[in-house]
Amino acid sequence: MARTEKAISKTSVNPRSVPKKKTKIKKGYAGWLFASPWIIGLLLFYALPVVSSLYFSFTTYSILQPGDFIGFKNYSDLIHDHLFWKSIGNTVYFAVIFVPLSIIFGVALAMMLNMRVKGMSIYRTVFFLPTLVPQVALAVLWMWLLNPGFGLVNGMLDKIGISGPAWLGSETWSKPSLIFMSLWGIGQAVVIYLAGLGDISNEYYEAAEVDGANWFQRTFYITLPLLTPVIFYNLVMGVIGAFQQFTLPYTLTQGSGKPNNSLTFYVSYLYDNGFKYFKMGYASAMAWILFIIIMILTLLIFWSSKRWVHYQGK
Amino acid sequence: MRQSMKRIQLFLLATLIVLAFALVGCSNGASSSKKGVTTITFWNNATGTGKDALDAVIKQFNKTHSKIQVKSTYVASNESSDDKLLTAVTGGNPPDISLFDRFKVASWANQGSLTDLSEYAKKDGITKDKYYPFAWDESSYNGKLYAIPISTDARLLYYNKDEFKKAGLDPNKPPTTIDELEADADKLTIKKGSRFQQLGFAPWLGQGWLYTWGWAFGGDFYNKDTDKVTLDNPQVVKALQWEQDWAKTHNVEDITGFQDSAGSDAQDPFLTGQISMQVNVTGTVEQIKKFKPDLNYGVAPIPTPTGKDFTTWSGGFSLIIPKGAKHPKQAWEFLKYLGSPEGQKLYCGTSKGDLSVIDSVNQDLFKDDPIMMQFVDLLKTSHNRPSISQGQLLWNELDSAVDKAIHGKGDPKSLLEKANKKVNDALAKDKAN
């Protein structure tokens, strides 16, 4: 390192003594060397698996056996796979309902937690705490809360005279239950919204107040438009996360997706194929289809963002 | 110029050192021969009394075999997947021995990742008649032996004698026919609104898989001669039809609610008295001893339509030698030992809850235990899940067919025909490869 610095200072003092090109190589050389653990790791453990999974998706690879090249057979088989479509249906259902709800609740919560009230840091902590609970623990906890017989939720519903559904045991209610659970872990997004709210310059509000705008107008004409960059970020991350939903439903049903496959999510089915049925080629094909779906959705959101995302100072 | 050459050399040297360390790290345990002693690695997921039992066997083996030393390592796995062993076999650096659920033997053997033990067994005179037939069948695939069975279990109907008395039933006369089972269950059920205070029975709870009822109804799931599954077997269809009818008449949603409320271990609904009768596995005996020793219960054969020809099915563990193991010969010695009457006696005598795969050992160990003897009595005719490459798919398809049938999503016959086709198609594909 010291030598490189010397070389640089030499160049600046006497440009002719060391050719400029060589310095550049030398400088880059040290950089590459220091970055090499990361580069090697990235290529070996990230790029290589990604590329090979594309190849495997055209084979009958089973992890234990290399398998044969079968062209697009895995993809055409998937089209005729009933459970594949069911898993897509479940995943889309979850994403379509969960992501908007998480934005609405997240923004609302953030706005409440942004008020100037005594002990606000305590409230903020309370809402953030659930995100620290591991997904598996979250699943077990909610299995008890939503327990049809002795659960707290049905117990409370009972008190006000409603006999609650079987929640996770009912085909109609299993996915809504999952959405409730996921909404509980919304704290991460709320923190980002809070940062976004803090970023909005007070001048806008002062000006609006002078103009006589009420709370409603301030929220919908100042807060929300200026929060759109953050909402945009959370929307993209939320969609990606929702399509990769795995731990919660898999833990809740011990991988069975019961009742009636209503909790068989896309990645759960992918995992079963890869690691339980030894159909890694088939699973790789599923992974690439998922990648394409997420890619298209993300591109769509980016494309639409020009119409609804407003940046401050523009 | 020279300086940069030197640097490249230095860089290469550093890389080599790192690689060398990595390679040494990968081949651990392979080169630990001290005066001709071979150390063999043994992966298992045993805990509690199961670990005590394995430790006892390993200790005894190491004492009697001066040239071979077994080293046990805990590695997590479960009935349907074994990611770490999978990675180790793929990476060409597996342990010498692994504890292995027999359920997985066929699918792993089909993938060519288990060592064929037929020759070893032949040389040492180890034959099918030494073990229960089901244990041997589940350890074999396509006529070759891939595992040595070491433990087993069976399923019986557990019933709560106190609740029988309270309901006015004879606690020494558990139901023997399906009709009696249903009549007793209704007498034992106490329901308030949609909630069960006490559930008499439900076919699919506990170990009430379709395997349990299909065999109890006299059906079969697999034809050895054609090497095809037979889920459309009329008796299997009948069993599922019976489950569907039960679900309809007893309101499945309420039972599902009850099922989801069920805890495990000490909170198991049979232990807490919330369910009066349930099909369960041998291990429940130990569970009751541990968490609720004063529970007044009995066990009985699983009822059949005729009240005769009682049967059950068994799973259990085995030992395998993964493909690519460094010391298969020495590993075989340990497999042989744990599978011998001597090893079995030590193992099952220490672990308790486990039944041996050798009949004489069970007769000896459990002769004074009337409950365990009920299990032992049925083992000679017990079934095993078909030893086919698609065992896991078959399991999931059966499970899903029951789930659909009891929730009224299709009639049993067409559900089973569909599942049958799916599994047989997958089997045909495996054969073509």
**What are the pLDDT tens digits along chain A (314 aa)?**
344 444 444 444 454 555 555 566 667 888 889 999 999 999 999 999 999 999 999 999 988 888 899 999 999 999 999 999 999 999 999 999 999 999 999 999 999 999 888 888 899 999 899 888 888 888 888 888 888 777 888 889 888 888 888 888 888 899 999 999 999 888 889 999 999 999 898 899 999 999 998 999 999 999 999 999 999 999 999 999 999 999 999 988 888 888 888 999 999 999 999 988 999 999 999 999 999 999 999 999 999 999 999 887 75
| pLDDT for position A4 | 43
Residues near B336 by beta carbon (within 8 Å), at least 6 away in sequence: B120, B124, B126, B148
**What are the pLDDT tens digits along chain B (433 aa)?**
455 666 667 666 667 666 665 555 544 444 445 678 999 999 999 988 889 999 999 999 999 999 999 999 999 887 777 889 998 999 999 999 999 999 999 999 999 999 999 999 999 999 999 999 999 999 999 999 999 999 999 999 999 999 999 999 999 999 999 999 999 999 999 988 777 889 999 999 999 999 999 999 999 999 999 999 999 999 999 999 999 999 999 888 788 777 766 667 778 889 999 999 999 999 999 999 989 999 999 999 999 999 999 999 999 999 999 999 999 999 999 999 999 999 999 999 998 788 999 999 999 999 999 999 999 999 999 999 999 999 999 999 999 999 999 989 899 999 999 999 999 999 998 888 6
Its CATH class, for the domain covering A75-308, is mainly alpha
Structure tokens at B412: 């049993």
CA dihedral B230, B234, B236, B241 (to 10 degrees): 140
DSSP B355: B
With an 8 Å Cβ cutoff, are A149 and B261 in contact?
yes
Give, in order, the Cα–Cα distances in Å from A235 to each of A99, A104, A176, A238. Answer: 7, 11, 20, 5
Q: How far apart are CA A45 and CA A51, in angstroms?
A: 11
| pLDDT for position A25 | 63
| pLDDT for position B8 | 66
Q: Which 284-303 residues of chain B touch chain A by CB within 8 A?
A: none
**Domains within chain B, CATH numbers bracketed:** 38-153+315-379 (3.40.190.10), 166-314+387-432 (3.40.190.10)
List the single residue in B254, B390, B433 with the smallest CB-CB distance to A60.
Answer: B433
Q: Nearest residue of A to residue B402 by CA position?
A: A260
Q: Which chain A residues are Cβ-neighbours of B390 within 8 angstroms?
A: 277
CA distance A276 to chain B (A): 6
With an 8 Å Cβ cutoff, are B392 and A277 in contact?
yes
Size of interface A-B (CB pairs under 8 A): 81
Structure tokens at B419: 């599942």
CA distance A291 to chain B (A): 24
| pLDDT for position B313 | 97
| pLDDT for position A217 | 92
With an 8 Å Cβ cutoff, are B400 and A261 in contact?
yes
Q: Nearest residue of A to residue B429 by CA position?
A: A60
CB proximity A261 to B under 8 Å: yes
| pLDDT for position A7 | 43
CA distance B102 to chain A (A): 15
Give the three-state DSSP class for B387.
coil
Residues near B190 by beta carbon (within 8 Å), at least 6 away in sequence: B196, B197, B198
Q: How far apart are CA A255 and CA A131, in angstroms?
A: 23
List the single residue in B80, B195, B433 with the smallest CB-CB distance to A149.
Answer: B195
| pLDDT for position B358 | 96
| pLDDT for position B259 | 74
Q: Which residue has the tokens 């130990």?
A: B286
- As for the ipTM of the complex, it is 0.78
DSSP helix, strand, coil percent of chain B (3-state; round to 5) = 50, 15, 35
List the single residue in B261, B396, B399 with the smallest CB-CB distance to A147.
Answer: B261
| pLDDT for position B74 | 93
Q: Which chain A residues are Cβ-neighbours of B260 within 8 angstroms?
A: 143, 147-149, 166-169
With an 8 Å Cβ cutoff, are A148 and B113 in contact?
no
| pLDDT for position B261 | 63
CB B113 within 8 A of CB A64: yes
CB proximity B90 to A under 8 Å: yes
Q: Which chain B residues are Cβ-neighbours of A275 within 8 angstroms?
A: 81, 83, 86
CB proximity A164 to B under 8 Å: no
With an 8 Å Cβ cutoff, are A278 and B11 in contact?
no
With an 8 Å Cβ cutoff, are B259 and A278 in contact?
no
Domain limits of chain A?
A: 1-47, 75-308
Structure tokens at B54: 């394995």
Q: How far apart are CA B61 and CA B55, in angstroms?
A: 10
| Beta strands in B124-237, from DSSP E residues, in sequence order | 140-141, 144-145, 148-149, 155-160, 190-192, 195-198, 222-223, 228-229
CA distance B335 to chain A (A): 23
With an 8 Å Cβ cutoff, are B396 and A272 in contact?
yes
Q: Nearest residue of A to residue B407 by CA position?
A: A260
With an 8 Å Cβ cutoff, are A169 and B195 in contact?
no
Q: Which chain A residues are Cβ-neighbours of B115 within 8 angstroms?
A: none
Q: Which 47-76 residues of chain A touch chain B by CB within 8 A?
A: 60, 62-65, 67-68
CB atoms within 10 A of CB A244: 16
CB proximity B393 to A under 8 Å: yes
With an 8 Å Cβ cutoff, are B259 and A169 in contact?
yes
Give, in order, the Cα–Cα distances in Å from A113 to each of A205, A214, A223. Answer: 18, 20, 14
List the single residue in B81, B258, B403 with the smallest CB-CB distance to A260.
Answer: B403
Q: How far apart are CA A265 and CA A244, in angstroms?
A: 8
With an 8 Å Cβ cutoff, are B256 and A278 in contact?
no
Give, in order, the Cα–Cα distances in Å from B324 to each of B32, B37, B89, B317. Answer: 17, 20, 7, 21
| pLDDT for position B267 | 81
Residues near A71 by beta carbon (within 8 Å), at least 6 away in sequence: A58
With an 8 Å Cβ cutoff, are B11 and A33 in contact?
yes
With an 8 Å Cβ cutoff, are B260 and A166 in contact?
yes
CB proximity B4 to A under 8 Å: yes
> Taking the CA atoms of chain B, what radius of gyration do you get in angstroms?
25
At B128-151, the pLDDT tens digits run: 999 999 999 999 999 999 999 999
User: How far is residue A93 CA from its own chain's centroid?
Assistant: 16
Residues near A72 by beta carbon (within 8 Å), at least 6 away in sequence: A58
With an 8 Å Cβ cutoff, are B260 and A167 in contact?
yes
